[in-house]
Amino acid sequence: MPSIRLAAVRRAVFPIFRRSTLLGGAFILLVGAPACQSRADQAAQLRLKFIDDTLLTTNDELSRDNDQAVKGIRAQVERNQRQPAELRVLRRAEAVHDSTRQLVDYLRGLRDRLLRQTDNEHYFRQLGGRREVAALLGGPGTAADTLHRQLRAYTRYLRQVAPAADSAALPPADFAEASVAGALATLASQETRLLLREAAGLAALQRRVTVNTLDHSYRVLATAEDNVVAPGTTYRANLLLAAALHRPTSFAMTANGQPVAPGPDGFGQVEFAVPSLRGAARRQARWTATITVRQYGRDSTFRVQVPYTIVPRR
């Protein structure tokens, strides 16, 4: 699960950097490098790069999880016979996923531009550089402004399609005085926030799709071959363990056309007035039962006729 995975990331990276804080389950990196000796500065940049690498690995896994969540919603909607309301939920989930991927692609594009402009595309040579970061991300009119606008628009959109999800505004990243390693780590942390927000939105949408699973409970049943027997004859019956499948919200029973309320265990108690003998010494009769269950968007009705014998009162 994302929360477990992110907790593991925190444990892995928290001891190795000084200027960081946690907000909303994701990393906010204070990327100003310490004004220390050159060797200490290099060590600080390597630590930030390690954080960046760790978060990128987590982000790839979060992205795969979110992709599977959308596939799961799509599969459930198909099993439910593509109900119109659930199709709308699926379209929203797909739209959220597409919007997130576009933003992730933009974040990854900023990473690539920064690496190319600092000659770090193939080998990490200048992790401590700051001028290139300032030119690309450091102030008004830079790519950071475009990023912040896109994040605000994404938050507004998520509030509309999944109001139950965590839709607090994503805080803008601060690239002021950031080194290359610090900027990379900050971009990775923004991506983590984004993917976690997507996961929350998809989970909220998934709850709107009916999962057609029936609960079950067990009962011992015996059915006799004949309910009327004579002394000295052989009594025969079938003994079985029955599993009652039920889900109260989509389950209906009737007996002779009258509704029967299923109990919490899925069994219905049938009662009706026995008809008269109409002058006969005994009379064969039967009652009719129906059970209707809605599953995968379709009603299925099962019928059974139960014979019984009417005899005079003793």
Give per-residue pLDDT as tens, 238-260.
887 777 666 655 678 999 999 99
If asked whether residues 51 and 145 sit together in one domain, one would say: yes
Point out which residues pair with 216 in neighbouring strands: 245
Q: Are residues 296 and 158 in the same domain?
A: no
| pLDDT at residue 23, as a whole number | 30
Answer for the pair 195, 63: CB distance below 8 angstroms, yes or no: yes
**Gap between the Cα atoms of 196 and 170, Å rounded:** 11
Residue after which a domain boundary falls, among 181, 206, 231: 206
CB atoms < 10 A from the CB of 137, how many? 23
Domain boundary residue, one of 206, 239, 264: 206
Q: Are residues 191 and 239 in the same domain?
A: no
Shared domain for 219 and 103, answered yes or no, is no
pLDDT at residue 10, rounded to an integer: 46
Last residue of a domain, one of 149, 177, 206: 206
Q: What is the pTM of this model?
A: 0.60
Which tokens belong to 152? 């605000």
Same domain, residue pair 25 and 120: yes
pLDDT at position 247 is 60
Do 191 and 61 belong to one domain? Answer: yes
Report which DSSP code applies to 189: H
Please list, residue by residue across 253-283, b when 16 or more beta carbons sit within 10 angstroms of its beta carbon and e when fewer do: bbbeeeebebeeebebeeeeeeeeeeeeeee
In this structure, the answer to whether residues 148 and 275 fall within a common structural domain is: no
Specify whether 284 is located in the same domain as 167.
Answer: no
Residues 60 and 198 grouped into a single domain: yes
Q: In terms of domains, do 195 and 63 share one?
A: yes
- Same domain, yes or no, for 181 and 252? no
Specify the DSSP class assigned to residue 269: -
Q: How many domains does the chain have?
A: 2
Instruction: Note the pLDDT of residue 28.
Output: 37
CB 57 within 8 A of CB 50: no
Cα 107 from Cα 130, distance rounded (Å)? 19
Pair 29, 146 in one domain = yes
- Nearest of 19, 62, 32 to residue 177 by alpha carbon: 32
How far is 129 from 133, CA to CA, in rounded Å?
7
Residue type, 15: P
Ramachandran class of 55: left when φ > 0, alpha when ψ lies in -120 to 50, beta otherwise:
alpha
Low-confidence ranges of the chain (pLDDT < 70): 1-42, 44-45, 122-125, 164-167, 211-216, 227-230, 244-250, 295-298, 314
Question: Where in the chain does DSSP place strands (E)?
Answer: 20-23, 26-29, 215-224, 237-246, 251-255, 258-260, 283-295, 298-310
Owning domain of residue 104: 2-206
Residues, the chain, total?
Answer: 314
